[in-house]
Amino acid sequence: MSSMALPRPRHVLADLLPGSAVLDAALVTGSAVLVGLSAQVTIPLPFTPVPLSGQTFAVLLAVAAIGPVRGALGMLLYAAAGVAGVPWFAGHQAGWSTPSFGYVLGFVLAALVVGTLARRGADRTFPRTVALMAAGNVAIYAIGVPWLMASLGTGLGHALALGVAPFLIGDALKILLAAVLLPGSWRLLARESRHS
């Protein structure tokens, strides 16, 4: 097997917790709340309707830790509650008619992609976690950018300039931070299990 091949399906960090359906429900709800809180850490940018926020980092880290099913359910809960009127989208917004709502829908796709890859071991090393987080960002942009295009009635180039380019440096920094945190958590848990 090549050094880049992913191991067969295993588990994610949350699977190491003793639990039940109650734990699963808590993880789903907790991931939605974490994303809702992180969305309030925003920096509006005057040249784009998409603000800088802590959302994507919280999404990708949470879904890598809790897996694809719980992660997708958490992001669906986040989206549904926001559409129903909970003002926890970026900048205390709610509803689906904002230009950045496509990114919220992208969180669900990212949860499936990142959670599945994490379950297969892609969050165990620095290089694999970088690739995992980059894939998650691409999944978010894959839905966010077309939504932005439709919302603003603009072309792909303009949507990329408004909805991707301003965030690439921040994405890179968040990816690097996640690439330290996730493998570090696995190493810490392995060390603890050896000493217990």
Q: Would you kindly state where each structural domain of the chain is located, as residue ranges?
A: 13-195
Return the CA Rg of the chain. Answer: 17
Q: What is the pTM of this model?
A: 0.89
Q: What is the mean pLDDT of the chain?
A: 90
pLDDT tens per residue, range 98-123: 999 999 999 999 999 999 999 999 99
Length, in residues, of the chain = 196
3-state secondary structure of 130: helix
Query: Is residue 21 a contact partner of residue 28, using CB atoms and an 8 Å limit?
Result: no
In 32-151, the DSSP E strands lie at 42-43, 52-53
| pLDDT at residue 188, rounded to an integer | 86
Instruction: Pull the structure tokens for residue 89.
Output: 């989208």
What is the fold of 13-195? Answer: Arp2/3 complex 21 kDa subunit ARPC3 (1.10.1760)
Instruction: Pull the structure tokens for residue 121.
Output: 């071991």
pLDDT tens per residue, range 16-69: 777 788 889 999 999 999 999 999 999 888 999 998 888 999 999 999 999 999
* Axis-axis angle for helices 68-83, 101-119 (nearest 10): 170
Instruction: Pull the structure tokens for residue 113.
Output: 């992609």
